[in-house]
Structure 1
Amino acid sequence: MSLDGATQQSVGPAQLGSFKCEHAGCIAPPFQTQYLLNSHANVHSQNRPHYCPVPNCPRGEGGKGFKRKNEMIRHGLVHDSPGYVCPFCPDREHKYPRPDNLQRHVRVHHVDKDKDDPALREVLAQRPEGGNRGRRRRAGAPQ
């Protein structure tokens, strides 16, 4: 059965990862379910079915969109972000929407600074409203 170059291979039921992508040149390991294989197939197409729900966002409906839902969800953090300002840049103009963006900036542009520097930790301690840091919790799970 083929879907955008992805096919299911018949492998014994006891073997995990029996759904292999057959797109030319793809080196992804086999997937455990057809759903995951189908989701992966989007990386080989121009299809971008997930759009940011924020009005006028360039990644919204009619804009660029995302190939994967998790990328759209992560993008949503840029709209809720307090902005993470680099404490080491003298002009204080380097502001990032996500903490990992600031951490990458510091790693690349401030190689003399430690990732545990108190000034950096203070900026990274900021949390958008809700403070769940992008983690979803199951209903009824202990907090």
Structure 2
Amino acid sequence: MTTDDLVEIQHLLARYAVTITRGDIDGLLAVFTPDGTYSAFGDTYPLAEFPALVAAAPKGLFMTGTPVVEGDGGDTATGTQPLCFVDHATHDLRIGYYTDTYVRTDDGWRLHTRAMTFIRRSGVHDSGRPHAFERPAV
């Protein structure tokens, strides 16, 4: 993995944090591959369900740290990025980390999968409460 690849992935992840903080759903979706997924709350959500998931989530500031990225020397990579979310109304914090896979596309590096792990006050690391988001009925 080259320095240029690492910088591009870091910029991609910065765009994720800024677009979700601003409520820019189109910008947020653009950081993923079309078949990308997001995992939290005991489930995996396809990109088509991500806008509803974001709409149901608390709003606030997504502060992310520098990711650790491991490349395979080709067009895929994996990474972990720390997160501190600050609720805009209460300033309550949620901390944890994302576990990611990245793919180099014709448009540059994109997130293929992103999984959220919360760190609880007890020290437990988990993917969240399954009831925290209800999928729309189909």
TM bin, normalised by shorter chain, reads under 0.3
**TM-score when normalising by structure 1:** 0.21
**TM-score when normalising by structure 2:** 0.22
Computing the radius of gyration over CA atoms, which structure comes out larger, 1 or 2?
1
